[in-house]
Amino acid sequence: MATITTRDGTKIFYKDWGKGQPILFSHGWPLSADAWDVQMAYFGQQGYRVIAHDRRSHGRSDQTWDGNTMDQYADDLAELIEALDLRDLVLVGHSTGGGEVAHYVGRHGTGRVAKVVLIGAVPPLMLKTASNPEGTPIEVFDGIRKGTFENRSQFFKDLTTPFYGFNRPGAQISEGLRESFWLQGLMGGIKGQLDCIREFSEVDYTVDLKKIDVPALIVHGDDDQIVPIQASAQKAAKLVPNATLKVFQGADHGLAQTRAGELNAEILAFLRR
C-alpha cells in the first residue's frame, strides 16, 4: 500500500498509476479512492497519470479522532501533491471532494494546477440559510448524522437509493454498485465520517471558488437528490471566473458511475482544449 505520512502523523493512502499529465481525483462522502476506478482506468489508458487518495478517516487511510476538517483535508491534499511533486495538475472532485478541491485552491493556490473539474460538488454552500434559501435545511443533515451514528451500515445501504437515482421510475438498480458503496463506507471510521458531515454541509466555499483562476469544468445532474443543482453548480458556475457548466439531463448524484462513459468523454474533451 502506498501512503504518505502527514505532518500530524496521519497515514494517507493513495493510488498512483500510469504516466503523463497528472489527474488527481478526490472522492465524496463516505467513500474512498475506489469510487474513481472507472475514471482512473479510462484516463490511465488515455495517457494520463492518475492519482486518487483516501481522505483521512475514509477508506484505507488512518482513522483520526481529531483533524477531520476541511482545512485539514485541503492541507492533506497539499502534502500529497507536494510529496509526489505533481505539476500541471488536473484536480477532479466529486461532492465533498469538490469542496476539498476548492478549499485546496483557496488555501494553497493554483501554482501546481492546470485545470479543475467539479462533479456533483457541494460548493458554494449546501446549508439553507437566510442568504442561501435554495440550500438544504439543517434537519436533513441532522438526519444524516443520526443515521450514521445509530446504524451506519443500514443507513449507507439506504442512501444508495437516492444517491444513484434508483428510486426513479424505470431506473435499473445495480446491486453491485450498492454493495460497492456500502463496502467503501464501512471501511471508514465513524468518528471521522460524523465530523465530515459538517464539512460538506456547513462550510461556505464562496471565497475558494472565486480563487479558481484556471479553466474549470462544472458537471452536475439536474436530478441530483443529494446535492441539488440550484444551490451548488448553478451558483458555483457564476463564482468561478473561467467556468464551463455542463448539466447532465436526468442524471443522479453518482453520475461518475451511472453515466461514466458520458462523463469521461466530457472531461477528456475539456482536458484536450
Beta-strand ranges (E) seen in 21-67 are 22-26, 49-53
Catalytic residue among 53, 58, 103, 253: 253
Cell representation of residue 267? 472531461
Catalytic residue among 27, 224, 232, 252: 224
What contacts 24+ positions apart, CB below 8 Å, involve 148-152? 148/30, 148/190, 148/193, 148/194, 148/197, 149/190, 149/194, 152/30, 152/185, 152/186, 152/190, 152/193
Catalytic residue among 26, 32, 95, 232: 95
Tell me the C-alpha distance between 14 and 135, whole Å. 33
Q: Is 270:117 a contact under the CB 8 Å cutoff?
A: yes
Residues in the chain: 273
- C-alpha distances in Å from residue 82, one per residue of 57, 65, 92, 126: 21, 25, 17, 30
Q: Is 224 a catalytic residue?
A: yes
Tell me the C-alpha distance between 5 and 84, whole Å. 12
What residues have CB less than 8 Å from 11, skipping those under 6 apart?
A: 3, 4, 5, 61, 62
Tell me the C-alpha distance between 119 and 180, whole Å. 19
Q: Is 253 a catalytic residue?
A: yes
Query: Which residues carry out catalysis?
Result: 95, 224, 253
